[in-house]
């Protein structure tokens, strides 16, 4: 299942060294070190409030660590980095916004530029291609509020891909999706990851739908992290150590269940 | 107040009113305001800030009443209070629900002040009432020039900020990650709204600003889904309401604001009721046809 590690010569996409971040007196991440390589599919797991979204914000340069160093493609994180595509935790959109699916995708191309922009055949072609890549072309001109959660999620991924990123950060793209839509999004992200060789960090609550595609799991709990292949990280001993209390990992029916941890 | 009838009490020709310079001034100022209000309204809907469009004019009324009490131009009080309130709302930031509650409390406090100012003022506060109910037919040539320049400037800034403003309205987190200065934009936007509100108050009055600000944009958003087209249609609707409102008022004894508000409601209602018939379905069907 898990692929071999990437060519060790290529520069890592993400490097964290002894990173600590705290909000007031509360330490969110403490002494976290890890490396993510080109084209790797990383699933980020952990209980609510463990610091999963915080980690993404550190990589985006939206937050600064209190200690340690972070490098994204060899440079410190900064806002407006086109090498990162980001889709945050999704909220349901209001039904009567005058915005079409292709407008949302278009933000990824030039939403940060001044002025109204001029429609052009080239711009339309780029957006059409992105819509096709995420299988969203059929509802390209539909108002965004009319689309289902899964359809909106596809658009956010297309938007994140428009600047041809080397790193894709997806915060809970599977939240509020039923099983079949969940599988569609997982297959889509895996396809993007493999064909574009883009590193993916996908925050999730449940590893099971991602088992067929994940390279390594990053588990965050109580400020600490464990990273590695699924069968090394999601084990009773590793998770018990991470949580500091007994956690039992049960395997049944090709699925993994974590018992005793508040996930 | 606004009858233009000859001595026998009959209107000679409905279009004769267009010859009066005060009607021409009203049409010019009304057009400028309708254009800016429509584009501002579109963004207020996208940003979930329509309640501020109701609150700011009422806060502006308090400023106008205070100015009258101090013996200065009420329009100055109007601008000072709306821009001050816009900055306060900007500093509140955060969640829409929480924000609306705070806006409501600021608004009622301002209204309370406005009522106090009026009660302390001995005399007939005619200019304050015109702030409440609109004074478009009392607009001078100088007022037209001022509102024309202000409208053009506001419009220019809206067009300059268009894409980042839309992006950050729709998805502030991604916009921020892509380097859009979302806090600064939010503050500039609120100040633009305050200026738009202050301009609109002089046409339709504080009580009915909402009709020019949000009415046309809400209707347009239900007719088309493309942002620029929605804004263009909102502008056309807003300008039509204003022209027709002034025209009808000039030929009757009823106030301009009444006609504008009635037209806005009369068009919104059927569009709102019937729009489920076309929103969504049309776009998907046409996309399927492309595939076939």
- pLDDT for position B129: 79
Residues of A in contact with B160 (CB under 8 A): 114-115
Cα distance from B243 to chain A (closest Cα, Å)? Answer: 26
- pLDDT for position A2: 46
Residues of B in contact with A87 (CB under 8 A): 174
Q: What does the pLDDT look like over A76-108, one tens digit per residue?
A: 999 999 999 999 987 766 666 788 999 999 999
Average pLDDT over residues A137-154: 90
Q: Which of B194, A146, B236, B149 is nearest to B228 (CA)?
A: B236
Whole-number average pLDDT of chain A: 90
Q: Is B16 on the interface with A (CB under 8 A)?
A: no
- Considering only CB atoms, B176 lies closest to which of A62, A96, A97, namely A62
Query: Do B178 and A112 count as a contact with CB atoms less than 8 A apart?
Result: yes
Q: Are residues A57 and A132 in the same domain?
A: no
Domain boundary among the residues A164, A195, A211 is at A164
Q: Are residues A172 and A263 in the same domain?
A: yes
Domain with A148, as residue range(s), is: 94-164
Asked whether residue A229 is assigned to any structural domain, the reply reads yes
- pLDDT for position B2: 44
Per mean pLDDT, which range of A122-126, A213-217, B131-135, B177-181 is the poorest? B131-135
Does the pLDDT of residue A262 top 50, yes or no?
yes
Which segments of chain B have a pLDDT < 50? Answer: 1-4, 6-8, 285, 290-292
Q: Is B284 on the interface with A (CB under 8 A)?
A: yes
Asked whether residue A238 is assigned to any structural domain, the reply reads yes
pLDDT confidence tier of residue A153, bands split at 50, 70 and 90? very high
Residues of A in contact with B279 (CB under 8 A): 96, 143, 146
Q: Are residues A111 and A239 in the same domain?
A: no
Three-state DSSP state, A202: strand
Q: Are residues A172 and A240 in the same domain?
A: yes
Tokens of A15: 């490097």
Q: Which segments of B46-198 are extended strands (E)?
A: none
Cα distance from A72 to chain B (closest Cα, Å)? Answer: 14
Q: Are residues A68 and A134 in the same domain?
A: no
Interface test with A, best of B158, B162, B163 (most A CBs within 10 A): B163
Domain boundary among the residues A143, A164, A185 is at A164
Interface test with A, best of B176, B178, B182 (most A CBs within 10 A): B178
CATH (domain of A170)? 3.40.50.300
Cα distance from B141 to chain A (closest Cα, Å)? Answer: 32
- Considering only CB atoms, B178 lies closest to which of A80, A99, A115, namely A80
Does the pLDDT of residue A199 top 70, yes or no?
yes
Q: What global pTM score does this model have?
A: 0.88
Residues B53, B57: Cα–Cα separation, whole Å = 7
Asked whether residue A222 is assigned to any structural domain, the reply reads yes
Q: For chain A, give the number of residues.
A: 263
Asked whether residue A89 is assigned to any structural domain, the reply reads no
Domain boundary among the residues A134, A164, A194 is at A164
* ipTM rounded to 2 decimals: 0.88
- Structural domain boundaries of chain B? 15-210
Query: Do A86 and B224 count as a contact with CB atoms less than 8 A apart?
Result: no
Does the pLDDT of residue A16 top 90, yes or no?
yes
Residues of A in contact with B224 (CB under 8 A): 98
Asked whether residue A257 is assigned to any structural domain, the reply reads yes
Residue that wins the pLDDT comparison between B290 and A125: A125
Per-residue HEC secondary structure of B49-65 comes to CHHHHHHHHHHHHHHHH
- pLDDT for position B292: 42
Q: Helix and strand tally (H, E) in chain A?
A: 7, 11
Cα distance from B268 to chain A (closest Cα, Å)? Answer: 13
Number of domains comprising chain A = 2
Q: Are residues A57 and A184 in the same domain?
A: yes
Q: Are residues A105 and A9 in the same domain?
A: no
Residues B88, B191: Cα–Cα separation, whole Å = 10
Architecture of the domain delimited by B15-210: Orthogonal Bundle (1.10)
DSSP assigned state of A62:
S
- pLDDT for position B93: 67
Residues of B in contact with A62 (CB under 8 A): 176-177
Three-state DSSP state, B178: coil
Query: Do A62 and B177 count as a contact with CB atoms less than 8 A apart?
Result: yes
Q: What does the pLDDT look like over A225-252, one tens digit per residue?
A: 999 999 999 999 999 988 888 888 988 8
Q: Are residues A124 and A214 in the same domain?
A: no
Q: Are residues A35 and A151 in the same domain?
A: no
The answer to whether the Cα torsion of B171, B172, B177, B179 is positive or negative is positive
Q: Are residues A255 and A173 in the same domain?
A: yes
Cα distance from B75 to chain A (closest Cα, Å)? Answer: 31
CA B66 to the chain's CA centroid: 22
Q: Are residues A181 and A225 in the same domain?
A: yes
Q: Are residues A39 and A101 in the same domain?
A: no
Q: Which residues contact A100 (CB under 8 A, 6 or more apart)?
A: A140, A141, A142, A143, A144, B225, B226, B283
Residues of A in contact with B174 (CB under 8 A): 86-88, 107, 156, 159-160
DSSP assigned state of A66:
S
- pLDDT for position B96: 63
């Amino acid at each position: 299942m898990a692929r071999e590690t990437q060519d060790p010569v290529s520069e890592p996409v993400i490097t964290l060294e002894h990173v600590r971040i705290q909000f007031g007196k509360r330490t969110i991440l403490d002494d976290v070190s890890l490396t993510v390589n080109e084209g790797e599919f990383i699933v980020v797991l952990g209980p609510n409030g463990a610091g999963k979204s915080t980690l993404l914000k550190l990589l985006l340069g939206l937050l600064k660590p209190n200690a340690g160093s972070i490098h994204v493609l060899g440079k410190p994180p900064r806002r407006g980095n086109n090498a990162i595509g980001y889709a945050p935790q999704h909220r349901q959109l209001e039904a009567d916004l005058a915005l079409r699916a292709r407008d949302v995708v278009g933000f990824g191309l030039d939403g940060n530029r001044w002025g109204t922009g001029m429609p052009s055949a080239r711009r339309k072609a780029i957006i059409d291609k992105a819509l096709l890549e995420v299988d969203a072309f059929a509802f390209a001109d539909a108002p965004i509020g009319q689309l289902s959660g899964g359809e909106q999620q596809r658009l956010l991924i297309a938007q994140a891909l428009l600047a041809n990123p080397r790193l894709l950060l997806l915060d809970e793209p599977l939240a509020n999706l039923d099983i079949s839509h969940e599988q569609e999004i997982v297959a889509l992200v895996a396809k993007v990851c493999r064909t574009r060789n883009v590193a993916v960090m996908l925050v999730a609550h449940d590893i099971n739908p991602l088992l067929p595609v994940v390279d390594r799991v990053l588990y965050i709990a109580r400020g600490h992290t464990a990273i590695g292949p699924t069968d090394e990280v999601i084990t009773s001993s590793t998770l018990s150590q991470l949580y500091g209390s007994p956690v039992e990992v049960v395997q049944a029916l090709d699925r993994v269940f974590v018992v005793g941890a508040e996930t | 107040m606004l009858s233009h009838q000859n001595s026998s009490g009959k209107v000679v020709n409905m279009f004769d009113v267009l010859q009066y310079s005060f009607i021409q001034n009203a049409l010019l100022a009304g057009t400028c305001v309708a254009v800016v209000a429509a584009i501002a309204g579109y963004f207020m809907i996208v940003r979930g800030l329509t309640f501020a469009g109701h609150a700011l004019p009422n806060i502006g009324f308090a400023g106008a009443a205070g100015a009258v009490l101090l013996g200065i131009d009420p329009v100055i009080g109007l601008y000072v209070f709306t821009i001050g309130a816009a900055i306060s709302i900007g500093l509140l930031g955060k969640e829409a629900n929480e924000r609306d509650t705070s806006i409501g409390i600021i608004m009622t406090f301002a209204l309370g002040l406005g009522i106090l100012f009026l009660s302390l003022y001995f005399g007939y506060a005619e200019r304050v009432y015109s702030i409440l109910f609109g004074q478009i037919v009392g607009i001078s040539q100088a007022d037209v020039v001022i509102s024309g320049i202000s409208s053009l400037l506001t419009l220019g800034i809206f067009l300059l900020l268009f894409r980042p403003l839309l992006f950050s309205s729709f998805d502030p987190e991604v916009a921020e990650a892509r380097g859009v200065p979302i806090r600064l934009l939010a503050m500039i936007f609120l100040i633009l709204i305050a200026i738009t509100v202050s301009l609109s108050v002089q046409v339709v009055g504080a009580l009915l600003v909402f009709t020019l600000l949000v009415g046309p944009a809400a209707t347009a958003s239900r007719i088309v889904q493309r942002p620029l087209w929605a804004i263009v249609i909102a502008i056309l609707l807003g300008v039509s309401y204003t022209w027709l409102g002034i025209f009808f008022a000039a030929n009757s004894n009823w106030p301009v604001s009444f006609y504008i508000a009635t037209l806005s409601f009369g068009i919104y209602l059927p569009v709102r009721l019937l729009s489920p018939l076309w929103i969504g379905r049309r776009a998907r069907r046409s996309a399927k046809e492309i595939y076939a």
